[in-house]
Chains A and B, each alone.
Chain A
Amino acid sequence: MVTVRVNVSLKPSLLDSAGRTVANSLKSLEFSEVEGVRIGKTITLELEKYDEARVKSMCEKLLANPVIEDYAIEVVE
């Protein structure tokens, strides 16, 4: 079995309103060094075998929306 992580993030050009709220909260906790926060998501796949083209296809067909999101594939083990 192979574990594959797909990291999905909002395109940098789009406002991440949740990230902005978290950044404001961190600042109110006196983490004044925080200049920005962006929140993505990690999808962990357990696969019988790893085939990069098929995982890309999963990302393009369902896991990420190319209109608003970027994705990165990471093979864990």
Chain B
Amino acid sequence: MKIAVVQFPGSNCDQDALYSLRDDLGVQAEYVWHQESSLAGFDGVFIPGGFTYGDYLRCGAMAARSAVMGEVIRMVNDGHPVMGACNGFQILCETGVLPGALLKNSGERFLCKSVYLKAENRNTAWTEQVNEPIAIPIAHNEGRFVASDDELARIENEGLVAFRYCEANGELTEKSNVNGSLNHIAGLVNKRGNVLGLMPHPERMTKKILGSDAGLLIISGFHRVLAGV
């Protein structure tokens, strides 16, 4: 399996992504510059975090319109695994691959901390191994998930909620909803289940020496999506 780690001007955690895929998940991974118009030979895509194009206009707005994204959308439609973390999630929402949008945290502060996530729909390649709340770091200023009432109802009814922010015991308290997201939403899948977007950074938690390897429970979804292709 070969995964493309897409790089834009202003990407970060791209190295974390590459090394977690290569060293911890044990698959091939290569950087791909955003101007590439072909992803031939790749089986999946990881869109890393960052502040692409300085977050000008809106987070992920410009990155979502770059050349490589046409190919990412093709891979999404072909059922390949595609995962976006943090800015990667914002970019996937901006392209319309995932519904809704991410706005400034309700507390108006950049949040850099560990949060607990619980898997909501356990019936997806990305969530099926997450059988209890896991601690994963966040680092974002615009992570408040919003959608229209109709869209939110559709997201819930179709089981698109992959992860919610929660307490260590899984309880959904107001305090645990760190950025004020609707329905505590931290991550979504698309209807087909081959795409995951989430604000937290599982690629930073893939080795015991980093504190935990719980991120691998999520990232190993690349294998499970491909097994089902």
Chain A interface residues (CB < 8 Å from chain B): 10, 13-15, 17-18, 20-21, 61-63, 65, 67-68
Contact = CB atoms under 8 A, between A and B. Distances in A.
Contacts of A68: 101, 103, 146
Contacts of A17: 103-108, 144, 180
A62 B65 contact: yes
Nearest to B179: A17
Contacts, number: 41
User: For chain B, which range describes its interface: under 10, 10 to 19, 20 to 34, or 35 or more residues?
Assistant: 20 to 34
Contact of B146 (A14, A18, A20, A63): A14
B58 interface: yes
Given A15-B106, A17-B180, A18-B108, 17 more contacts: A14-B103, A15-B144, A17-B104, A17-B105, A17-B108, A17-B144, A61-B65, A62-B61, A62-B62, A62-B65, A63-B57, A65-B61, A65-B94, A67-B146, A67-B148, A68-B101, A68-B146
A63 to B, nearest CB: 7
A62 to B, nearest CB: 6
Contacts of B65: 61-62
B79 interface: no
Contacts of B93: 67
